[in-house]
Structure 1
Amino acid sequence: MSQESPRELLDQILQQPDNDERPSKSQLKREMQALQTLGEQIIAMTPGERARFPLSDDMLAAVEETTRIRSHEGRRRHMQYIGKLMRREDLEAIRAVHDEIEQETLRRDHAFHRLEKWRDRLVDEGDAAVEAFVADYPDADRQALRQLIRNAQRERERGKPPASARKLFKLIRDTAGL
């Protein structure tokens, strides 16, 4: 059995020609599993993200019902039902929204990684890095920045938890507007 991602399987489903040949039973199971996995991903999203999807009323009701199911077997059967409902949905539109949300998530993650690098650089280099940071972000509060850097350096030297480093990251994030 091949280990294809739900994304690859969804692409295969959407690209299948409409000919008279019936797909194999294994292919049907893989497609159903891909749709079920996509349904699980939609369920795991925040309500705001979920609202962006063009889902039918039946699908929305099934997604909301998922939160009330506690039994493992009941949830498993319900996820199969979600996979069945997914077959009737507009998969092209759902894929477009899903890709858009994934891209937004990637951009946000990259932005946070850049800010984490700034935080580490500020703590490691001190005032030299402060000047570079202020050049990139002129609205930064230099005094608060320097104070948090000093506190974070002291915490690191003493082996204490990085409370000031977290506050520094929050200040950097707020300054960057994220």
Structure 2
Amino acid sequence: MARKNQKAPWEEEEEIIWVSKTEMKEDMEVLQKLGEELVGLKPSVLAKFPLPDQLAEAIKDAQRFKNEAKRRQLQFIGKLMRQVEPELIQAALDKHRNKHAQASAELHKLESLRDELIEQGDVAIEKVLELYPSVDRQRLRQLVRQANKEKKLNKPPKAYREIFQTLKELHDKV
């Protein structure tokens, strides 16, 4: 005999996810911190973010406020953040933060390429020619020789710096 409160085998059970009050508060604090980071950005950078009008206006106001008014405005921003998808905003913020890191990494690559040019000479020049076909081979070779000469005679590294500037200009053109 079947029990009255038993579900039929073909009916799916709904899974209920219980969220504690503490978890909800932690989530709200995370959103508020995200809002604080947005308030700290320049208006020109904020214009690139996918923000609803009301949130953008609240952030603009928070940038003007001080002390207690700013604290209350940040709480309001946190409340508005609950209504939007924070993943999109977080992704845009991560992308903004990463630009500096990418630029630094590119400069480090150019520095290592410069060092490779000075150490290896013609072999490295061929590598640079593959990367940047528009480079003046003769000028680059001349700079490498000057840099090696400066290094031997303990002179200021003028050619060393000029090689880097040349590589940077070539990289910016590409």
Q: TM class, shorter-chain normalised?
A: 0.5 to 0.7
Superposed CA offset, 1:56-105 (max 9, x none): 22221233334434x56665554444323322223243245445556766
What is the SS of the residue equivalent to 2:51?
A: coil
Cα drift, residue 163 of structure 1: 6.2
Number of residue pairs matched by the alignment: 158
Letter in 2 for 1:24: K
**Please, which of 35, 40, 44 is the counterpart of residue 39 of structure 1?**
35
Gap regions ≥5 residues in structure 1:
1-17
Q: For residues 5-154 of structure 1, what are the structure 2 equivalents within 5 Å?
A: 21-25=18-22, 27-45=23-41, 47=43, 49-69=45-65, 71=66, 75-98=70-93, 101=96, 108-150=103-145, 152-153=147-148, 154=150
Superposed CA offset, 1:114-146 (max 9, x none): 223212212333343222211322111234434
Q: Could you tell me how far apart the structure 2 residues matched to 1:158 and 1:113 are?
A: 24
Gap regions ≥5 residues in structure 2:
1-14
TM-score by length of 1: 0.60
Higher gyration radius (CA):
2
In the alignment, is the contact (CA less than 8 A) between 1:54 and 1:90 conserved in 2? no
Q: Could you tell me how far apart the structure 2 residues matched to 1:166 and 1:62 are?
A: 47
Q: Could you tell me how far apart the structure 2 residues matched to 1:112 and 1:32 are?
A: 39
Letter in 1 for 2:154: R
Letter in 1 for 2:111: E
Cα RMSD after superposing both structures: 3.8
Alpha carbons of 1:78 and 1:132: their partners in 2 closer, same or farther (altered >3 Å)? same
